[in-house]
Amino acid sequence: DAGKSGYDHYMLKEIHEQPTAVRQCLHERVTELERRIDVEALEMLSVPTQVQFVACGTSYHAALYGVRLLRDRGVPATAFLASEYDAGSTPVGDETLVVGVTQSGETADTMGALRGANSAGATTIAVTNVVGSSAARECDHVMYVRAGPEIGVAATKTFVSQQIALVLLASELTGEYDDDLAAALRDLPGQLQTVLDDSSAREIATEYRGADAYFFIGRGYNAPVSLEGALKMKEITYKHAEGFAAGELKHGPLALVTDRTPVFALVTGGSNPTKTIGNVKEVETRGAPIVAVTDGSADAGRHADHVLEIPATHPAIAPVLGNVQLQLVSYWVANELGRSIDKPRNLAKSVTVE
Ligand code: G6P
């Protein structure tokens, strides 16, 4: 218990360590004066023809976020669930960069995919938290996310650190790094602290702890975080939860929406907030309680029963802040339900079988 520093669970402690995790990830990698990003591990890499991410679970959601960062910079990128990656039938060659996103560096499915990519001639890089892990040793390059040890089975601070590592990777690979992004990264630890200090997630969790199911929607940069919000909720509360790209709601999931299914909508600048509000209205007319996770874009609060505020930032960084609000909601619902938060049933921190 001493390791929990006064928190009831490692998960809550690790959620609160996220400002520090981000500072560590950025340390000496962003040269403010020269406005450039310098990641030693990436110095040898040229801009690849294509990038393929391989990852599982929460790390796969970070990979989906990485895809968007690269595509926004003109690099063709795809994310694969590592268990579905087959270098034999996937176009991969010596101009392909395969990025294994794995906090432990030991996940069997991810290691299998990386080994396959290696034998097919691709250049591989591990984005991992664990120094000397299998992924770190076997890949051609390694970039450490520097989150510090994570004990809770549900990944929290390692996910945020992966997101930031992928911002650095995408920027360094393409040389595209603007003043706004630099400022957003500089402000991020302080803004994360503001979210942690001011969040009303606990009250919202108390109100909705008896819900039948929880839905999470978001577009663009927010879409991977809606998936992650749902995964976290499932993992630690054992409740039904699903995340969607907001536009997909009307193509099926809307049939599940009732007045007993709260919908968490990520509505932030630069990620099509007006269209997401259109989707929010679809669930509003079905009587679903709506929680907007928002920087105030598109007047989201007007359509919501509750607001989880995030400070204004760069469009690519907004989901990093939004995700923390969702982590807190899941944590407090699980806490209300008396779940085994740090060691959820049936789950392991690192899965070393395929
Ligand atoms: C397990 C954990 C998840 C994690 C996944 C991938 O399923 O419970 O939290 O996201 O493995 O782990 P990795 O170490 O490869 O990121």
Confidence check: pLDDT of 36 > 70: no
The residue-averaged pLDDT of 72-86 equals 94
Residues 183-192 have pLDDT tens digits of 999 999 999 9
Confidence check: pLDDT of 90 > 80: no
Confidence check: pLDDT of 33 > 60: no
Q: pTM here?
A: 0.96
In angstroms, the first-to-last Cα distance of the chain is 33
- For ligand 1, is residue 129 a contact (CB within 6 Å)? no
Residues 251-309 have pLDDT tens digits of 999 999 999 999 999 999 999 999 999 999 999 999 999 999 999 999 999 999 999 99
243 - beta bridge partners? 216
- For ligand 1, is residue 128 a contact (CB within 6 Å)? no
Q: How many CA atoms lie within 13 A of 272 on its CB side?
A: 15
Nearest to 129 by CA among 194, 69, 55, 195: 55
Confidence check: pLDDT of 206 > 90: yes
Cα Rg, the chain, nearest whole Å: 19
DSSP-derived secondary structure for 84-131:
G--TTTS---TTEEEEEEESSS--HHHHHHHHHHHHTT-EEEEEESST
- For ligand 1, is residue 335 a contact (CB within 6 Å)? no
Enter the ipTM.
0.98
Give catalytic residue positions. 349
Greatest Cα-to-Cα distance within the chain, rounded to the nearest angstrom: 54
Atom of ligand 1 nearest to the CA of 55: 15
User: 306: CA distance to ligand 1 center in Å?
Assistant: 31
